[in-house]
Amino acid sequence: MRPSHETPDHGSAVPHRLSRTVVFAAALCAAAFAWAAPGEESFKGRPIYSEPATGLQMPPGCVVDPSWRSRVGASDLEVWIAVCGEVPRAWLLRRSIVEMLGAGLARLRYQVIDERLFPAETAGDTLSVQCFARGRDDAGFVVAGAKWHASGKQLMLASAQSALRADTRAGAFAPAEVAAVDCTRFPEREAMLRQLQTAPR
């Protein structure tokens, strides 16, 4: 009696290949928010100080515009977009008072508690923090791959590739749905704030 020869079940390998594909796609999505070139400096954990007389004491090679900053509600957290070494990045920072100097004047300390790099984006344009939760005033969002359409003197978000939100409980960025975010830019205000920041003190 001849031994039977079973035909290999090629279909059984399909779920395995699919699972590998899903894992690879998930890794690519995570990399979109955390990609950093080899040797790229991270500023997570770095303190940044602010003096009433001189303003922010940014790390060497880093810049941030006033319109690239957003407070996260009534919390002590802020979301910034900074450009360091020509690489745009989103920072989640914790704000604290170092010393009160008088009415409304204080030395402040900002601690970078989370960071995401976006080397393919343009700070303040395709990468923006001028966003709120749709239908609410909750701030603390970042959109990447943003495209805008004009509405009078404003620019409204037309589309974006991805979004992040500040998770106040975890003290870290978390993924957000682009459809749940509304963003508005005010180019004239952005230009005015930029001029005030660069004016001699």
Averaged confidence pLDDT in the chain: 84
Domain locations in the chain as residue ranges? 41-198
What φ, ψ does residue 40 adopt, rounded to 5°? Answer: -70, 130
Distance (Å, rounded) from C-alpha 36 to C-alpha 22?
A: 22
How many CB atoms neighbour CB 25 within 10 A?
A: 10
Q: Which pTM does this prediction carry?
A: 0.78
The per-residue pLDDT for range 110-141, each reduced to its tens digit, is: 999 999 999 999 999 999 999 999 988 789 99
What's the confidence (pLDDT) of residue 26? 39
Average pLDDT over residues 60-64: 96
The per-residue pLDDT for range 127-185, each reduced to its tens digit, is: 999 999 998 878 999 999 999 999 999 999 999 999 999 999 999 999 999 999 999 99
Distance (Å, rounded) from C-alpha 57 to C-alpha 17?
A: 51
